[in-house]
Amino acid sequence: MVRIWGSLTSATDGQADVEIEATTLKELLDGLSEKYPAIRPQLQRGVSVSIDGKIYNDSWFQPIKPDSEVVLLRRIVGG
Amino acid sequence: MSQIHVTTKINGDTTEYLCDPEETLLDVLRDRLALTGAKEGCGTGDCGACSVTVDGRLVCSCLTLGAEADGCEIDTIEGMADGEKLHPLQQKFLEHAALQCGICTPGILVAAKSLLEKNPSPTEEEARYWLAGNLCRCTGYDKIIRAVMDAAEEMRRAS
Amino acid sequence: MPLDDQTPGQKPGEARQFKVVGTRPLRPDGIDKVTGRARFGADMSAPGMLIGRVLRSPHAHARIRSIDASKAEALEGVKAVVTRADFGAGDDDVADILDNCMAGEKALYDGHAVAAVAATSAAIARKALKLIDVDYETLPHVVDVDAAMKPDAPVLHEGLSDETVPDGVSQNVVHRVEFGHGDVEAGFAKADKVLERSFKTAATHQGYIEPHACLATMGTDGIADLWVCTQGHYMVRNTCAAILGIDQGKLRVTASEIGGGFGGKTTVFLEPVALALSRKANRPVKMTMTREEVLRATGPTSSTSIDVKIGMNKDGKITAASADLRYQGGAYQGSPADMGSMTAFAPYDLENVKTVGWDVVTNRPKAAAYRAPGAPMAAFAVESVVDELAKGFGLDPLDVRLKNAAREGTKSSYGPTFPAIGLEATLQAAKDHPHWKAPLGPNQGRGVACGFWFNFGGDTCVSLNITPDGTVTLSEGNPDIGGSRASMSMMAAEELGIPYDQVRTVIADTGALGQNEVTDGSRVTFAVGLATIKAARNAKKVLCERAAMVWGIDPEAVEWADGCARPAGDNAGKFPPMSLKEIAAIASNTGGPVAGHFEVNAEGAGVSFATHMVDTEVDPETGAVKVVRYTVFQDAGKAVHPAYVEGQFQGGAVQGIGWALNEEYIYGEDGRLQNPGFLDYRIPVASDLPMIDTVILEIPNPGHPYGVRGVGETSIVPPLAAIANSVSEAAGVRMTDLPMSPPKVLAAIQNG
């Protein structure tokens, strides 16, 4: 289960929580892209992913547990 | 355009240079004499990073012409420590962590030294107003003012 | 990669006793910086060096019909002139950056670079610029964010809007983003009071005292060296290589000491131009910006226009909250409207919340990151409305914030559920502090506000080498912007069990280490610190192996404690401890030099919260505002060097004071910046300010071996709101437009 931000729900038939089978971050992103092609432009622009409250930008093989809370975020920037 | 021959004393050493008539003292120090301790933060006398003293008077070297320094005594940050012994202000800036990036530090030290020569017991407010011509973007000035006040106290005790 | 978070031998939940971390040693670069010998960007020279200067557009928006540089090229002493024609197409990834460094078809803002020259002196270079003929066709311009969104606004780029932008707005709107959960309309319907307000904030500049500067050397074989003041020399390398079409490995970038950045030195401006000039002239080229160039052409932050609506019950409980955040990011996409939308309500535990962010382009310089990009303006708007509602119900504003505070288990407004966070601790500390109870004088007001920032990690490399005499050199790849070399030396010393002065940390050039993320996102003490600790642990493993060889026992039977290898227990055998120096002395005899290194993408940084409290006094006759007392309460996880943590808190607060009270980009009708200097763009000076008190809270970050959280950015998030709340109380009228300069405050008082 991955939670996505509001304006992306237009790509997921209005669903804010979508179901993707994934054990790693890469599987999650690939799964999202496959299931919801309309989300691809945003994935290409870059996203961050919060897994159990910690933010990940790039780590493909970051494990995702079955009960993990996963949230898609705009890519975090800093100053 | 002919250059001007200038004879000065810089940090106690007689120094001669040629400069263009429109060349600032800051450019002379930095580009001709390799004294890069004075910094150019604005070039308009607003930031104080280029502070030096000319005959004991605190100036922005970016607003002073190199040619004006003829016959003058100039003191810069490079002359502030006495050999291996740091000036009390320099030591207190380190102890109080009164610098983060350090770009404004030479100018602030030169200005603070000038303050303590004129007023060995400044109030916090006097120190803040004296240093109001020296911009620091990192520290919020808190630790700078504490370092200056602490150095003043130590110098009073020592004298 | 997964990181083992626990320190070996430490039980979960047990506070670690530190020997070096948490003390206040002198910084290793200190003497260089108090004697003037530290070398910043403009302090480097090379034999045969030329001076480069940039010609900039005097127009806010103009098509460049042609550029004729023949007269400039003919001037004695001019060795190269470059325009956009001297750059290739470049990668898509860097197209905007290239166009910002050197304009293509159009000049998009006052100060946009259109050509550059390299000459034997600055005077000749300046003269040459005047000889370049640029034929401009001026176009209508727009600098205000709301004006730029209107359907009939002058358009900067055709077809830039992406699929998220609805019909009916200008093509200047690049992107729309929405966050939140619940049903805000239902929530508002349940509230005892719903308050809606609109806010404006002006663009401000990071205001680092050191202008951009670099020294480039590039040969026709593509091998190049660059000396530059930057927050990330690896970023400079990669970006310049992409723009110039050269291999990253052939460009070696060395970071100078950096005279402030605050986000503004996380991209490139002069660097590709200096390299292109050097390639063309086949000589070293030095370039420095004037202050005017810094203000006209480098990254200010966004100006914003924000609407906030909050519903609250009489007991202070927030029932729903929404915000519409419009941020202009200058001439190219990428304003931090998304960050504003994610952070706006992050301090609150809300059932119903919605934020909408709009990224808008205007004829202004491309916005660069500025310390917690996008968050301070959003916090200003939200915290102002929370404050007004709380005071309207006669409630204590700290109690209202505590009542609604996000805590462990709160589903945040931007999505994730918070782990252990320190917001309540900062609010409680604020409530218990004497400042909160101190009496106020006439015309004074007190304001509080909360702020949130994410922090992040990113690619990081550290190499720790042990010299033959047993001292330690640590190489890292992140420019030291506020004392981080001291922190790294401390963490290495802590881990190795040796004195702080036995470790020297240097910032290595791009040839010495792998990729390093920019010094940004409050990441350095967290991520480089983490890599330093891991590198030291790797070195300790080797040191233990060497001792095991000497003792003839199993390496597993050796442990490291208090700077020595020791047999792990009685069964391992009885041997006197071997110190780091003893093992270093026999390194050649036991296999060779000893080193530890660590390379990681340090993900999983902890979020950070702060609460600020400020007293201001308003002069009712002039509208001038004086800050009379200021206290920062912030969670640092673990303060490695508390003096520099305090410094980050104080510096962020004072930048916020400038943003709240004085600083603003002022544009004329012609779209030209009217105040490109420190006289008219007024940052806070010493006499404007009181001491800035700080309270460091330490709620350990579980994602770091020592519990460290980034601290650099969060401190600029609350001040705009805290000061606005304070001034509004002192003036007796709600201030919604930043900066609260004397004319605005006076007008607000007079208009009641």
Query: What's C121's domain CATH number?
Result: 3.90.1170.50
- The set of residues, in sequence order, having a beta carbon less than 8 Å from that of C5 and lying 6+ positions away, is C702, C703, C704, C705
> Would you state the pLDDT for residue C620?
96
Are C630 and C595 in a shared domain?
Answer: no
- What is the distance between the alpha carbons of residues C152 and C155, in angstroms, rounded to a whole number? 8
Query: Cβ of B49 and C209 within 8 Å?
Result: yes
Tell me, yes or no, whether chains B and C touch by having 3 or more C-beta pairs under 8 A: yes
Mean pLDDT along residues C59-84 = 98
Indicate if ipTM > 0.90: yes
Mean pLDDT along residues C503-526 = 94
Where would I find the beta strands (DSSP E) of C259-352? 285-288, 303-312, 318-328
> Would you state the pLDDT for residue A45?
86
Residue of B103, B104, B113 best to disrupt the C interface, most CBs of C under 10 A: B103
Does residue C327 belong to the interface with chain A, where contact is any CB pair within 8 Å?
no
Mean pLDDT along residues C427-440 = 98
Q: Which amino acid, residue C131?
A: L
Mean pLDDT along residues A37-61 = 89
Six token digits for residue B57 = 């008077």
Residue C209 to chain A, least CA–CA distance (Å): 16
Could you read off the pLDDT of B4-24 as tens digits, one per residue? 999 999 999 999 999 999 999
Task: Tell me how many domains chain C contains.
Answer: 3
> Would you state the pLDDT for residue C748?
96
User: In chain C, what residues touch A47 (CB-CB under 8 Å)?
Assistant: none
- What is the distance between the alpha carbons of residues C519 and C456, in angstroms, rounded to a whole number? 11
- The set of residues, in sequence order, having a beta carbon less than 8 Å from that of C398 and lying 6+ positions away, is C427, C430, C431, C436, C448, C611
Tell me, yes or no, whether chains A and C touch by having 3 or more C-beta pairs under 8 A: yes
Q: Residue C202: inside a domain, yes or no? A: no
Q: Residue C245: inside a domain, yes or no? A: yes
Q: Which residue has the higher pLDDT, C449 or C520?
A: C449
- What is the distance between the alpha carbons of residues C633 and C612, in angstroms, rounded to a whole number? 6
Per-residue DSSP letter, B87 = P
Confidence of residue A57 (pLDDT cuts 50, 70, 90): confident
Mean pLDDT along residues C92-98 = 93
Per-residue DSSP letter, B40 = -
> Would you state the pLDDT for residue C573?
87
Are C360 and C475 in a shared domain?
Answer: no
pLDDT value at C572 more than 90: no
pLDDT value at C3 more than 80: no
Could you read off the pLDDT of C244-279 as tens digits, one per residue? 999 999 999 999 999 999 999 999 999 999 999 999
Report the residue count for chain B: 159
Nearest to A79 among C178, C354, C370 (CB): C370
Domains and CATH numbers, chain B: 4-79 (3.10.20.30), 88-158 (1.10.150.120)
Per-residue DSSP letter, C7 = P
Query: Cβ of B97 and C27 within 8 Å?
Result: yes
Are C372 and C403 in a shared domain?
Answer: yes
pLDDT value at C6 more than 90: no
Are C367 and C464 in a shared domain?
Answer: no
Q: Is the CB of residue C719 less than 8 Å from the CB of residue C376? A: yes
> Would you state the pLDDT for residue C1?
33
Are C237 and C131 in a shared domain?
Answer: yes
pLDDT value at C427 more than 60: yes
Mean pLDDT along residues C112-132 = 98
- What is the distance between the alpha carbons of residues B159 and C18, in angstroms, rounded to a whole number? 40
Are C483 and C434 in a shared domain?
Answer: no
Are C387 and C503 in a shared domain?
Answer: no
Per-residue DSSP letter, B68 = G
Q: Residue C592: inside a domain, yes or no? A: yes
Asked, as a colleague might, if the bond just before C642 is cis with ω within 30 of 0, I would say no
Q: Residue C185: inside a domain, yes or no? A: no
How much is the mean pLDDT over chain C? 95
CATH number of the domain enclosing C470: 3.30.365.10
Q: Residue C194: inside a domain, yes or no? A: no
Domains and CATH numbers, chain A: 2-74 (3.10.20.30)
> Would you state the pLDDT for residue C284?
98
Closest CA relative to residue C248, chosen from C510, C513, C519, C517 = C510
pLDDT value at B129 more than 60: yes
Concatenated DSSP letters of C656-704: HHHHHHT----B-TTS-BS--STTTS----GGG---EEEEEE----TTS
Are C315 and C352 in a shared domain?
Answer: yes
Q: Residue C186: inside a domain, yes or no? A: no
Are C65 and C124 in a shared domain?
Answer: yes
Could you read off the pLDDT of C325-341 as tens digits, one per residue? 999 999 999 999 999 99
Checking DSSP bridges between strand B4-10 and strand B73-75, what pairing results, if any? parallel
> Would you state the pLDDT for residue B158?
94
CA angle C728, C733, C736 (to 5 degrees): 70
Six token digits for residue C378 = 């959003």
Mean pLDDT along residues C708-725 = 95
Q: Residue C180: inside a domain, yes or no? A: no
Q: Is the CB of residue C117 less than 8 Å from the CB of residue C129? A: yes
- What is the distance between the alpha carbons of residues C257 and B37, in angstroms, rounded to a whole number? 13
Confidence of residue C12 (pLDDT cuts 50, 70, 90): very low
Are C442 and C413 in a shared domain?
Answer: yes
- What is the distance between the alpha carbons of residues C238 and C258, in angstroms, rounded to a whole number? 19
Per-residue DSSP letter, B71 = T
Nearest to C42 among B40, B86, B146 (CB): B40
Nearest to C178 among A5, A38, A58 (CB): A5
Greatest mean pLDDT among A17-21, C332-336, C569-573: C332-336
Q: Residue C414: inside a domain, yes or no? A: yes
Query: Cβ of A78 and C713 within 8 Å?
Result: yes
Closest CA relative to residue C224, chosen from C205, C213, C237, C234 = C237
Half-sphere exposure of C353 (CA within 13 A, CB side): 23
Q: Is the CB of residue C727 less than 8 Å from the CB of residue C618? A: yes
Confidence of residue B1 (pLDDT cuts 50, 70, 90): low
Are C224 and C357 in a shared domain?
Answer: no
- What is the distance between the alpha carbons of residues C74 and A17, in angstroms, rounded to a whole number? 66
Range(s) of the domain holding residue C471? 30-36+457-602
Are C485 and C626 in a shared domain?
Answer: no
Nearest to C208 among B77, B137, B144 (CB): B137
